[in-house]
Amino acid sequence: MKHYIDFHEDVGIEELDYLLDIAADMKAKTKAGIEHHYLKGKSLAMIFTKSSTRTRVSFEVGMFQLGGQALFLSNNEIQIGRGESIYDTANVLSGMVDGIMIRTFKHSDIEDLARYGSIPVINGLSDDQHPTQMLADLLTIKECKGDLKGLKLAYVGDGNNVANSLLQACAKAGMHISVASPKDYTCPEKYVLQADIDAAVTGSKVVMTEDPYEACKDADVIYTDTWTSMGQEEEKAKRIEIFKDYQVNSELMSAAKKDAIFLHCLPAYRGYEVTEDVIDGPQSRVFQEAENRLHAHKAILVNCFLNS
């Protein structure tokens, strides 16, 4: 079964180029008004236990553009929210739809859906990883820079699910990555080791630091994310104090290359992890990045559905 749950495990180095090519092709077809109903008659169950804008819209519209249909399933409306087991949910949905996309808290719930079901499972986000975002990010960088290999991406802020997946994705793509986070908020060693494994093959470099200026020096891409992820709302005041020196502002951007671009997976909180003049400035590509979620997710859907 072809799943898309863990970028390190589920996306091969050569397969990454294939996925990016599919995404670029379908973006061009969309812009030209050319139908591409590769998934005609297919259906996708979308389970959400976390709120969503970009993930829901991109997968729902993506399935429509591919000729299929998507069903939005909130945990407040289906039995999994009332205690039905993952085992039962996986088996029931396997008999009714062609694939599952889930956006949830526990990463193990996504793995269990794939273990117990008999259809492709796509990780729309978990507390540990955000692999669907990565394909959109790499597509955006490739559009802006022409190639990926040898570029440097600097991530500044919380070592969260986005940072974990960026380590995996950049190493696969042959991009150098530097992650700057406070000591107790850096990425788990597991993801650093995974990145090191692929970096040894692709020739990229992985650097973990507490110094945002060291991370951003000569970077081609500067990336950040919210300091307070979903489920951490009670820690907001504490986190603002801890991360105050990790704000992406014009001074930090000046440490990067002059033609560096700024990315953020959104939603963004202006005045906290990024200043308004950066995210709304000429170097920002956040809305191009957001649009590319649609085309990247269509590539993931086609690859999972047609290769399973």
CATH of the domain at 254: 3.40.50.1370
First to last CA, the chain: 5
Structural domain for 153, as ranges: 133-289
Q: What is the pLDDT of residue 146?
A: 96
Length of the chain (residues): 308
Residue 223's alpha-carbon distances to 131, 152, 163, 204, in angstroms, are 15, 11, 9, 18
Residue 269: count of CB within 10 angstroms of its CB: 16
Whether residue 78 is contained in a domain is answered as yes
Q: Give the predicted TM-score (pTM) of the model.
A: 0.96
CA–CA dist 69, 184 (Å, integer): 43
In a shared domain, residues 123 and 150: no
CA–CA dist 198, 23 (Å, integer): 23
- H runs (alpha helix) in the chain: 7-10, 13-32, 54-65, 86-94, 107-116, 131-145, 161-173, 189-202, 212-216, 236-243, 250-253, 276-279, 286-306
Whether residue 1 is contained in a domain is answered as no
Catalytic residue numbers?
103, 130, 133, 225, 265, 293
Whether residue 93 is contained in a domain is answered as yes
In a shared domain, residues 137 and 122: no
Q: What is the pLDDT of residue 77?
A: 84
Residue 1: count of CB within 10 angstroms of its CB: 11
CA–CA dist 3, 122 (Å, integer): 6
Residues in the chain, pLDDT under 70: 81
The predicted-structure confidence for 119-159, as pLDDT tens digits, reads as follows: 999 999 999 999 999 999 999 999 999 999 999 999 999 99
In a shared domain, residues 256 and 207: yes
In a shared domain, residues 104 and 138: no
Q: What is the pLDDT of residue 230?
A: 76
Q: What is the pLDDT of residue 1?
A: 79
Q: What is the pLDDT of residue 80?
A: 81
Q: How many domains in the chain?
A: 2
Three-state DSSP at 48 gives strand
